[in-house]
Structure 1
Amino acid sequence: MAESDLKSAHIGTETAYQGSAEDEAPPPTGWMYKPVGFGKFKIGWYASPKFQLGMVAFVCFLCPGMFNALSGLGGGGKADASLADDMNTALYSTFAVVGFFAGTFVNRMGVRLALSFGGIGYCIYSISLLVSVHAYVPGFNIFAGALLGVCAGLLWAAQGTIMMSYPGEQRKGRYFAWFWAIFNVGACIGSLIPLGQNINVKTNKTVGDGTYIAFIVLMFFGACIALFLCDADKIVRPDGSRVILMKNPSWWTEIRGLWETIASEPWIVLLFPMFWSSNWFYTYQQNGINGAYFDTRTKSLNGFLYWFAQIVAAVIIGPLLDLERFRRTTRARAALTILFILTVVIWGSGYAWQKRYTRESVGTDAIAAGLFTAWDWETPGYVGPMFLYFFYGMYDAIWQGIVYWLMGALGNSGRKLANLAGFYKGLQSAGAAVMWSLDKNKLSFMGEYASNFGLLCGSILIAAPVVFLKIRDTISVEEEIEGTDETLEDVLPPGAVEQKRLGGDNI
């Protein structure tokens, strides 16, 4: 049977080209494919999806994880959030532009260089904040924010490509959980740094130099780790299959692929509001709640709890999304329904907290006049907002996990998923840039809260037709290699093509 005759055949099992825990094939020869670990504690070979995703998780642990810890303090660790608002507006503006096209750059550059270059931007961003404590350097600060937008666009597109295309169809939720947990351990540890250094500070003030220096060193180390990754063309799954890629991508083929991703499946745009909303809430949570209402040491504690909640949620949601006893279509519909219910419950509860204060009632004038004192963890009533902030953190991880899983359910091709990750991060960052700008222009805290509640609920409803009508239980490898220069022999396990020709679908 000719290869062209196989186009109509449907591969009905994950092991056909995506691998499973039960059906493992011997890896190729070479140092990249020798098992890592000892005894029964093996974590796969160096060029396996699990090992590579673990390395990417540690890069994000040290770069965006530390950035999240710093941002979680409100105002980038500074008592006045104005500078951080300006820097983050520049950051997310460039992130939005670069992020939208980042999949093209990642496909051309490779994930290793994209991740390493991305990590450098985080380091320079923290250096600029440290310098701003001792000198007035707004130009450097805005440049650092804009540069980080470029770097982060590449880093997150590469990360999304790895997390969605490396695992098999029935393991994408688990891979998200593993990555998100390790990544947010970085944010947790990063939050403990200022907590330990400001354990006795019961006022709202800028963190010390040591905090910024610690972040700078860790971020630089993360950028260096990225250089030791291997590119996607070296990855071999446990069943012997490989990631679907363009063998010799050019700038033209990748730009054309970006357009083809939307042109071939225009209904993908219905997911764009979810992409836009996915970082909209950070500004309100970090500046409107944590930065505005609590003292320095309590902000650090809240930040730790927020990122720890993300670990808890990721560990729960990831395996649930991969429950094989239910069809993938059923899981997708249930996930979106549950996400809508959680939005109403958690953000609805947030209204009770937000209506108690305004931007003016907790501002510098109110503090100077003695009308407001920043809350400490010893303040009576602190437990209520502490749990609210904890559940906001859980909600973030659940939202991101479901969106990543839905994108992963739309395909397995590394090329296509790199473009989807780029769309996701680009639109996500465009939304964040708008929200940081609104915060800079002193939009009321209630206005920020209401915009979050409305956008999150509305975007879920807009995405419902895609989730209910377009998600399928599996996607054949023939469909995935269309438009690439890969063949079945390139991506299926050794011997699988011949077995398919002889015996049909069940390989």
Structure 2
Amino acid sequence: MAGAIDEKHAAADTMGTKTPPGNDPAILENDPALTGKPWMYKTTKLGPIKIPYYASPPSQLGLVAFVCFLCPGMFNAVNGLGAAGQVDPYDINNANIAVYATFSVVGFFAGSIANRIGLKLTLGLGGFGYFLYVASILSYNHNKNAGFLIFAGALLGVCAGMLWTAQGAVMMSYPSEKSKGKYISWFWMIFNLGAVIGSLIPLGLNLHSEAGAVSDGTYIAFMVLMALGFFLAFSLVDSKFVRRADGSHVVVMKNPTWKSEILGLFEVLKTDWYIVCLFPMFLASNWFYTYQFQDVNAAYYNIRTRALNNTLYWLSQIIGAYVLGYGLDINVRRTSRAKAGWAFMLVITMVVWGGGYAFQRRYTREQVSAETYRAMDFNDSGYIGPMFMYMFYGLYDAMWQTYVYWLLGSLTNNGRKLANFTGFYKGIQSAGAAIAPAIDNRRVPYMTNLAAAWGLLAGSLIVATPVIFMKIQDTTSLEEDLKFSDETFAEVAPTEAKLAVLGGKK
């Protein structure tokens, strides 16, 4: 049998795509290193609903989405309360600085880590920091131990850098080119549903409270959910086992080493140097959170209204991800979609943040710091307008993140390179998220923080134009993707035999 398999492999090397290694059913069934266990490729039905096989891109993306639903989704629900549910944002801002400072460093190199140890382990290790961080806030509620809070924030940054790099690699490299926008929107909707459900916890527990801080029960509920997400992460399958519906699989490095991945990181920066034009978009993508959460939600509203705003903010993200994700997959040339997406983002940037400017003129930092200031409640007259303003902030955030991910996924389908791209994205994004709370802690005017966020967003779209108008192609060839892999064309190409093994041609 071994001799027969070797002959088939040799034939593949000679004949190109006609008989690639692994397309014979006997090899698929008997080579676990190539295909994984048979149960991974069996579809099931629940009545009229057909559930994709476990090692399929939809199943794996769904799994990653639910890990993010339970870990960063709940983290967003906590942070979205403004000052993480505390009265004074100073120590929470310092903890956020620690989170994003370590995140920015680890995130930049996390692509190399993910390529070396695998996406499953990277995702799993990444989930632990979220649980510890909320535990440190619960501790802070009682002893005001800022040191533990900041340490937990720094550790969370390390963990988050790993988790988000694994997430980005799965989301952008597993789907086919024609489905990337949908996959991104599916992920973002499930992930933000976690933040929506998470935000309902403090809303329900604090609905009749007009105090400034949330209860202990709120943090304990978040800790339980985050622990579930940490354990769920380890059920992800290795990338080498994932098969698309056409039988093709993800382009990865089969035998990565620490040396190959560190060198590969700098090789990507050298060969794909144009990626630096997207760095300002990366920097802007989380910069505005400090302004929205601390300078709007925490500053202007009482705790129960902050909880309601938080729920509406993340609910709006689901809508934003759906609209733009599906819009980016419409049946026109990808180059046209990239340019239309850029124009749309420029217009919505000016509209949403222009509305934010009009709202910010209502109050100043000095006014809300006065002892006589009464925070707005959702029962107050005049609440509805600001409520919709805050919802549009959430809608905009999801659209921005969806567009950036789609751009990266349009540059390559190579899982190894996309892990590095994601690392660049999350690292630089986190640098911005570390700088913004440091500025906010200096008590600068709220209007200054708004102007900085707005200017960075609009300016970064201009800087990104060379990539969007010149580097995005209608399709990316498999030969181009394989330049950063030790796999061959024959090994990753779709085949009719693989289709038969995976359930038949649709």
TM-score computed with the length of structure 1 as normaliser: 0.91
Mapping of residues 355-434 of structure 1, within 5 Å: 355-363=361-369, 366=370, 368=371, 370=372, 372-434=373-435
Which deviates more from structure 2 when the two are superposed, residues 482-491 or residues 262-271?
A: 482-491
Tell me if the contact between 2:414 and 2:484 (Cα under 8 Å) persists in the aligned partners: no
Q: In the alignment, residue 334 of structure 2 is paired with which amino acid?
A: R
Write the deviation string for residues 118-137 of structure 1: whole angstroms up to 9, x where unpaired: 11000000000000111132
Q: In the alignment, residue 122 of structure 1 is paired with which amino acid?
A: Y
Q: In the alignment, residue 46 of structure 2 is paired with which amino acid?
A: F
Could you tell me which of 265, 268, 290 is aligned with 2:272? 265
Distance 1:61 1:247 in 2: 30
SS in 1 for 2:355: helix
Tell me, yes or no, if structure 1 residue 249 matches structure 2 residue 256. yes
How much identity, in percent, do the aligned residues show? 54
Q: CA deviation at 1:202?
A: 2.3
Write the deviation string for residues 431-489 of structure 1: whole angstroms up to 9, x where unpaired: 11000111112121111000011100000000011100110000111111113210112
Distance 2:429 2:125 in 1: 20
Per the alignment, residue 123 of structure 2 pairs with 115
Tell me, yes or no, if structure 1 residue 327 matches structure 2 residue 333. yes
Could you tell me which of 41, 44, 59 is aligned with 2:52? 44
The structure-2 alpha-carbon separation of the partners of 1:28 and 1:99, relative to structure 1 and needing over 3 Å to count, comes to: closer
- Show structure 1 runs of 4+ deviating over 2 A: 1-7, 36-40, 493-497
Q: In the alignment, residue 272 of structure 2 is paired with which amino acid?
A: E
Per the alignment, residue 350 of structure 1 pairs with 356
| Unaligned 5+ runs, structure 1 | 8-26, 498-507
Distance 2:296 2:221 in 1: 25
Per the alignment, residue 218 of structure 1 pairs with 225
Mapping of residues 68-83 of structure 1, within 5 Å: 68-83=76-91
Could you tell me which of 98, 105, 109 is aligned with 1:101? 109
Tell me if the contact between 2:246 and 2:496 (Cα under 8 Å) persists in the aligned partners: no
Q: CA deviation at 1:39?
A: 3.8
Q: In the alignment, residue 176 of structure 2 is paired with which amino acid?
A: G
Distance 1:221 1:167 in 2: 26
Tell me if the contact between 2:246 and 2:494 (Cα under 8 Å) persists in the aligned partners: yes
Tell me if the contact between 1:412 and 1:480 (Cα under 8 Å) persists in the aligned partners: yes
Write the deviation string for residues 98-149 of structure 1: whole angstroms up to 9, x where unpaired: 0000100011111111111111000000000000111132221111000000
Per the alignment, residue 87 of structure 1 pairs with 95
Per the alignment, residue 21 of structure 1 pairs with none
Per the alignment, residue 282 of structure 1 pairs with 289
Could you tell me which of 150, 155, 158 is aligned with 1:147? 155
Tell me, yes or no, if structure 1 residue 209 matches structure 2 residue 210. no
Q: CA deviation at 1:322?
A: 0.5
Distance 1:233 1:176 in 2: 21
The structure-2 alpha-carbon separation of the partners of 1:278 and 1:221, relative to structure 1 and needing over 3 Å to count, comes to: same
Distance 1:466 1:424 in 2: 15
Q: CA deviation at 1:29?
A: 6.9
Tell me if the contact between 1:314 and 1:401 (Cα under 8 Å) persists in the aligned partners: yes
Aligned pairs, how many?
471
Q: In the alignment, residue 155 of structure 1 is paired with which amino acid?
A: L
Distance 1:63 1:330 in 2: 36
Tell me, yes or no, if structure 1 residue 311 matches structure 2 residue 312. no
RMSD of equivalent CA atoms? 1.7
Q: CA deviation at 1:268?
A: 1.0
Distance 1:255 1:192 in 2: 43
Tell me, yes or no, if structure 1 residue 156 matches structure 2 residue 157. no
Distance 2:477 2:495 in 1: 18
Distance 1:353 1:392 in 2: 12
Tell me if the contact between 2:16 and 2:490 (Cα under 8 Å) persists in the aligned partners: no
Q: In the alignment, residue 56 of structure 1 is paired with which amino acid?
A: V
Tell me if the contact between 1:36 and 1:46 (Cα under 8 Å) persists in the aligned partners: no
SS in 2 for 1:45: coil
Q: In the alignment, residue 129 of structure 1 is paired with which amino acid?
A: I
| Unaligned 5+ runs, structure 2 | 1-10, 18-34, 499-506
Could you tell me which of 269, 291, 302 is aligned with 2:298? 291
TM-score computed with the length of structure 2 as normaliser: 0.91
Q: In the alignment, residue 96 of structure 1 is paired with which amino acid?
A: S
Tell me if the contact between 1:43 and 1:50 (Cα under 8 Å) persists in the aligned partners: no
Which deviates more from structure 2 when the two are superposed, residues 263-272 or residues 131-140?
A: 131-140
Q: In the alignment, residue 349 of structure 1 is paired with which amino acid?
A: G
Q: In the alignment, residue 453 of structure 2 is paired with which amino acid?
A: N
Q: In the alignment, residue 281 of structure 1 is paired with which amino acid?
A: F
Distance 1:383 1:300 in 2: 15
Write the deviation string for residues 236-281 of structure 1: whole angstroms up to 9, x where unpaired: 0000000000001000111111111110021110000000000000
Q: CA deviation at 1:2?
A: 9.1
Distance 2:368 2:404 in 1: 35
Q: CA deviation at 1:313?
A: 1.0
Q: In the alignment, residue 439 of structure 1 is paired with which amino acid?
A: D
